[in-house]
């Protein structure tokens, strides 16, 4: 018993790591929502619910009901992004890695599985610059305002999942929003030789996020060929509390009810089709935002196919392909921001005994584009998920 | 394969798989480049940066000029002046070290031997002058004399040969006199920076006799209206060695004492600020920063007024002095380096200990030209961190920094001349220049 617990503790240190910036659209509204799901879900066009097999999902606690052993699932997600603005001609390139999810499941005697998940929710990491000219009495001094936003919002969920009868699974999770945001504006003169004694102006602060959420989900196996799942997440609201030395104020925003449906079906032996949709109405946050407006109702759609009989080096290595499209709730340019991506990937069972996979790696690669009026980002995004069971 | 071996192989495979997967996950986390844009709309409300000048009465008080720091001997140079600026006379006193008693020279067989049987033939005093710090443009006549009275290099003044706590001995003749004239010479700066006074062997021998209490030389400027800075003085000796009488050896004797006396001594200024000179002048003042500002309007529009002065709002603070012409006799002819140090114990002035420099090791260097017409040239002495700490002390309970500052030269004494600036009550009084930034607080979206 000691070894599993020590390994779980070690893995807990891995996450939740703060999300790293992967989009300029992190600067819009409350930030860029992080797509849930592991590498398998990303490869299938973002369809996370209703897939065959058990996993650990913060957005669907029932997904862990089918797990037979203590399990850890963790995902890393690097991105490479080229962005450009058609209005200003600005362009650039950046890259970053986030660790969007870490899930731990452990059997609760014979009652079901207890799950603990850490998931990134909103990414708020970005930087911006502004050239300014200081008008002093006798001279002008070129200077630069640099604004740095770090951090984001994460969710920690404690859930319970169990099977109901032969073909149904249910789960519920209580969650708490967590994470911090640090925002700092620094004004410094460009000519440090001429203004040797000039001390940069710095202002900013640090906020801690809090709030509660409740997620419930259920899935059912229809015959031998289909899975259907749905889940919903209700949130009490997202609160940001300024630290003692922060001049900025505390804030509260509404967080929308999220509804998710996903399904998969076996079209032919070794060939499955998966599809899913998520809806969230962000219009309630409009009144809480200092400036700008949300898009209102947003939808995320995904579809994918999985070739389950593929093998690699004699091991099961299912191939996956898909397409995803999702609306982004906040805009930089009073437009309708959207992200689309073609996806693909494979899984590889590292240690398998019969039908039981005790160690597996899933890889997904996405080629996509985000557009928000004049702002466009073309990105490559990879997801790598490690799943270990029987610890 | 038995069960134990099977179990061991399984564990090894699982550990290997875990290790490889963790390495893969970790490796992708390298080399981040954060999304960055120059889009102005991504930044919070723009702060305002303005220059504000606080009048003297708003930030300072109790200005006081103190003198008497250091001695002429500590300057390490000589000053010569004759009726400079219509008033100033200055003379330099020199005492030479014991002559060398032996020398290594080749004898008649060209073998180098140490010869202590030297015959003094003649000598000369060579003086090196500072062509930049001296005020003359053309040739000047200098006189060399031998002092007839004992004198103390550390305390000699225009009126006294000795001026110690144990007693005072006035010169028989004010101005470090009388002297026995020895030689005169003309120094033309166009020809070089040195002037030579030829001496006979008797005079040279007299200055080499350390038993003579009155031994010493006095250098005077004969040409009126000049002030000269003497960097070095040396005595060159022509010696004949006994081992090779056909050879003349030139030896150099360093000086042991170099000081100068001058008159008149400058009086403390009735108003204004004085820094430098010998003995050195300091100016002390008390600083008391206002807690709030009520202007300018542009700052109030953004941050609201009265604006609380906080350290983070102060980007730059400098004491701005306006140069004025001082006494022409002590008008700077070379650059000066000004320093500002906190006075750690005001009640102990003028001997109060000082804190570390607020300006840096090299000080704030000012050229001599600003102390001429037109007056009022501004000299900024940055004291940003000091002002920030003063303001911080006003808003927190940290250890208060000293509220009294001393304006002084980087080293004391550093120059014969001193810097003069307008004082409080003058239209050109000192001001405190502040560059402030204030703006709306950074908020979440």
Instruction: Give the 3-state DSSP-derived string for chain B, with helices as H, strands as E and coil as C.
Output: CCHHHHHHHHHHHHHHHHHHHHHHHHHCCCCCECCEECCHHHCCCCCEEEEEEECHHHHEEEEEEEEEECCHHHHCCEEEEEEECCCEEEEEEEEECCCCCCEEEECCCCCEEEECCEEEEEEEEEEEECCCCCCCCCCEEEEEEEECCCCCCCCCCCCEEEEECCEEEECCECCCECEEEEEEEEECCCCCCEEEEEECHHHHHHHHCCCCCCCCEEEEECCCCEEEEEEEEEEEEEEEECCCCCCCEEEEECEEEEEEEEECCCCCCCCCEEEECCCEEEEEEEECCCCEECCCHHHHHHHCCCEECCHHHEEEEEEEEEECCCCHHHCCCCCEEEEEEEECCHHHCCCCCECCCCCCCCCEEECHHHHCCCCCCEEEEECHHHHHHHHHHHHCCCCCCCCEEEEEECCCCCCCCEEEECCCCCCCCCEEEEEEEECCCCCCC
What's the pLDDT at B32?
63
What's the pLDDT at A8?
47
Q: Find which of B10, B37, B41, B385 to mutate to test the A interface (most A CBs within 10 Å of its CB).
A: B37
Provide mean pLDDT across the span A324-333: 91
With beta carbons less than 8 A apart as the criterion, state whether A293 and A265 touch: no
With beta carbons less than 8 A apart as the criterion, state whether B134 and B189 touch: yes
Provide mean pLDDT across the span A94-108: 89
With beta carbons less than 8 A apart as the criterion, state whether B55 and B288 touch: no
A199 vs chain B: nearest CA distance in angstroms?
5
H-helix or E-strand spanning residue A2? helix A2-14
CA distance A276 to B386: 63
Q: Which residue has the higher pLDDT, A334 or A153?
A: A153
List pLDDT tens digits, range A194-250. 777 788 999 999 999 999 999 999 999 998 889 999 999 999 999 999 999 898 999
Cα dihedral A184, A189, A195, A199 in deg (nearest 10): -10
- Under the banding of pLDDT at 50, 70 and 90, the label for residue A336 is confident
List pLDDT tens digits, range A114-163. 999 999 999 998 888 889 998 887 788 899 999 999 999 999 999 999 99
What's the pLDDT at A193?
72
CA distance B328 to A68: 99
CA distance B155 to B165: 10
B380 vs chain A: nearest CA distance in angstroms?
11
DSSP track, A98-134: EEEEEEEEEEETTTEEEEEEEEEEEE--EEEEEEEEE
pTM for this model (two decimals): 0.78
CB < 8 Å from B in window 240-269 of A: 240, 247-249, 251
Residues from chain A that touch B388, judged by Cβ atoms under 8 A, are 199
With beta carbons less than 8 A apart as the criterion, state whether B93 and B195 touch: no
Contact B39 A332 (CB under 8 A): yes
Residues from chain A that touch B299, judged by Cβ atoms under 8 A, are none
What's the pLDDT at A334?
80
- Three-point CA angle A217, A222, A227, nearest 5°: 50
What's the pLDDT at A12?
45
CA distance B119 to A149: 86
Q: At A81, is the secondary structure helix, strand, or coil?
A: strand
B40 vs chain A: nearest CA distance in angstroms?
6
Contact A125 B43 (CB under 8 A): no
Q: Find which of A203, A208, A211, A365 to mutate to test the B interface (most B CBs within 10 Å of its CB).
A: A203
The residue ranges of chain B whose pLDDT is under 50 are: 1-2, 4-5, 29-30
CA distance A10 to B188: 86
Which among A9, A33, A211 is positioned nearest to A119, based on CA atoms?
Answer: A33
Residue A384, pLDDT above cutoff 80? yes
A107 vs chain B: nearest CA distance in angstroms?
21
Contact A205 B442 (CB under 8 A): yes
| Portion of chain A with pLDDT greater than 70, in percent | 93
With beta carbons less than 8 A apart as the criterion, state whether A384 and A76 touch: yes
Provide mean pLDDT across the span A91-109: 88
Q: Find which of B35, B44, B318, B358 to mutate to test the A interface (most A CBs within 10 Å of its CB).
A: B35
With beta carbons less than 8 A apart as the criterion, state whether B103 and B251 touch: yes
Give residue A336's Cα distance to chain centre: 20
CA distance B140 to B226: 8
Residue A7's CB is within 10 A of a number of other CB atoms, namely: 16
B279 vs chain A: nearest CA distance in angstroms?
31
With beta carbons less than 8 A apart as the criterion, state whether A341 and A315 touch: no
Residue A18, pLDDT above cutoff 50? no
H-helix or E-strand spanning residue A6? helix A2-14
What's the pLDDT at A3?
47
CA distance B187 to B142: 7
Residues from chain B that touch A94, judged by Cβ atoms under 8 A, are 33-36
Contact B384 A197 (CB under 8 A): yes
Structure tokens at B245: 């009488």
- Under the banding of pLDDT at 50, 70 and 90, the label for residue A166 is confident
CA distance B425 to B422: 9
| Cα–Cα separations (whole angstroms), residue A131 to A136, A138, A147, B33 | 16, 20, 12, 21
Structure tokens at B350: 């003028």
Maximum C-alpha span of chain A: 83
């Amino acid at each position: 018993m000691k070894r599993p617990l020590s390994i779980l503790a070690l893995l807990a240190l891995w996450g939740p790591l703060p999300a790293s910036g992967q989009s300029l659209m992190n600067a819009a509204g409350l930030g860029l929502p992080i797509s849930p799901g592991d590498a398998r879900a990303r490869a299938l066009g973002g369809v996370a619910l209703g897939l065959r097999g058990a996993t650990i999902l913060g957005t669907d606690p029932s997904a862990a009901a089918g797990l037979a052993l203590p399990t850890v699932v963790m995902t890393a997600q690097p991105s490479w992004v080229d962005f450009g603005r058609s209005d200003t001609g600005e362009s650039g390139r950046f890259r970053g890695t986030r660790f969007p999810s870490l899930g731990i499941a452990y059997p609760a005697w014979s009652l079901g599985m207890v799950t603990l998940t850490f998931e990134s929710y909103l990414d708020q990491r970005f930087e911006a610059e502004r050239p300014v000219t200081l008008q002093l009495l006798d001279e002008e001094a070129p200077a630069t305002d640099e604004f740095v936003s770090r951090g984001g919002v994460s969710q920690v969920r404690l859930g319970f999942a169990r099977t109901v009868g032969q073909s149904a699974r249910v789960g519920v999770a209580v969650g708490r929003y967590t994470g911090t945001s640090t925002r700092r504006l620094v004004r410094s003169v460009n000519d440090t030789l001429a203004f040797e004694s000039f001390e940069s102006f710095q202002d900013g602060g640090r906020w801690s996020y809090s709030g509660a959420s409740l997620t419930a989900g259920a899935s059912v196996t229809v015959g031998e060929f289909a899975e259907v799942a749905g889940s919903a997440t209700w949130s009490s609201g997202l609160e940001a509390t300024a630290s003692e030395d922060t001049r900025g104020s505390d804030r509260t925003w509404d967080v929308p009810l999220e509804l998710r449906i996903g399904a998969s079906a076996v079209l032919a032996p070794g060939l499955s089709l998966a599809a899913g949709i998520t809806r969230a109405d962000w219009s309630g946050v409009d009144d809480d935002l200092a400036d700008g407006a949300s898009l209102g109702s947003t939808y995320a759609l995904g579809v994918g196919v999985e070739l389950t009989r593929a093998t690699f080096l004699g091991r099961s290595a299912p191939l996956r392909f898909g397409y995803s499209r999702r609306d982004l709730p906040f805009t930089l340019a009073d437009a309708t921001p959207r992200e689309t991506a073609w996806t693909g990937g494979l899984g590889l069972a590292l240690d398998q005994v019969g039908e039981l996979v005790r160690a597996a790696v899933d890889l997904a690669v996405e080629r996509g584009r985000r557009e928000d009026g004049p702002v466009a980002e073309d990105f490559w995004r990879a997801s790598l998920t490690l799943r270990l069971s029987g610890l | 394969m038995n069960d134990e071996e099977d179990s061991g192989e399984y564990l090894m495979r699982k550990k290997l798989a875990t290790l490889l997967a963790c390495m893969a996950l970790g490796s992708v986390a390298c080399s981040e480049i954060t999304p960055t844009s120059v889009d102005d709309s991504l930044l919070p409300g723009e702060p305002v940066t303005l220059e504000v000048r606080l009048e003297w009465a708003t930030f300072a008080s109790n200005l006081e000029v103190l003198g008497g720091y250091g001695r002429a001997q500590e300057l390490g140079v000589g000053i010569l002046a004759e009726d400079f600026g219509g008033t100033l006379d200055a003379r330099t006193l020199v005492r030479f070290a014991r002559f060398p008693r032996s020398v290594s020279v080749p004898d008649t067989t060209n073998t180098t031997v140490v010869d202590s049987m030297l015959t003094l033939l003649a000598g000369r005093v060579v003086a090196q002058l500072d062509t930049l710090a001296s005020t003359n443009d053309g040739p000047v006549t200098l006189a060399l004399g031998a002092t007839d009275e004992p004198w103390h290099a550390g305390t000699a003044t225009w009126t006294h040969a000795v001026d110690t706590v144990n007693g005072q001995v006035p010169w028989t003749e004010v101005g470090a006199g009388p002297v026995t004239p020895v030689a005169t010479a003309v120094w033309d700066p166009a020809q070089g920076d040195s002037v030579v006074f030829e001496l006979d062997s008797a005079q040279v021998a007299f200055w080499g006799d350390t038993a003579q209490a009155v031994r010493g030389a006095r250098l005077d400027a004969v040409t009126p209206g000049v002030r000269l800075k003497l960097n070095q003085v040396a005595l060159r000796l022509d010696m004949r060695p006994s081992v090779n009488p056909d050879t003349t050896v030139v030896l150099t004797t360093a000086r042991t004492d170099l000081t100068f006396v001058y008159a008149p001594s400058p009086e403390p200024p009735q108003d204004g600020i004085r820094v430098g000179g010998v003995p050195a002048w300091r100016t002390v003042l008390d600083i008391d920063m206002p807690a709030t500002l009520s202007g300018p309007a542009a700052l109030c529009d953004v941050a609201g007024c009265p604006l609380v002065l906080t350290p983070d709002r102060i980007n730059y603070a400098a004491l701005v002095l306006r140069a004025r012409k001082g006494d022409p006799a002590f008008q700077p002819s070379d650059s000066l380096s000004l320093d500002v140090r906190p006075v750690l114990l005001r009640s102990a002035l003028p001997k109060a200990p000082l804190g570390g420099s607020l300006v840096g090791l090299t000080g704030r260097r000012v050229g001599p030209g600003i102390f001429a017409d037109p007056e009022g040239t501004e000299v900024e002495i940055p004291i940003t961190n000091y002002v920030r700490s003063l303001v911080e002390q006003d808003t927190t309970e940290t250890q208060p920094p000293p509220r009294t500052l001393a304006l002084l030269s980087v080293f004391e004494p550093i120059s014969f001349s001193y810097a003069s600036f307008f004082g409080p009550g003058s239209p050109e009084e000192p001001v405190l220049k502040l560059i402030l930034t204030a703006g709306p607080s950074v908020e979440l979206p």
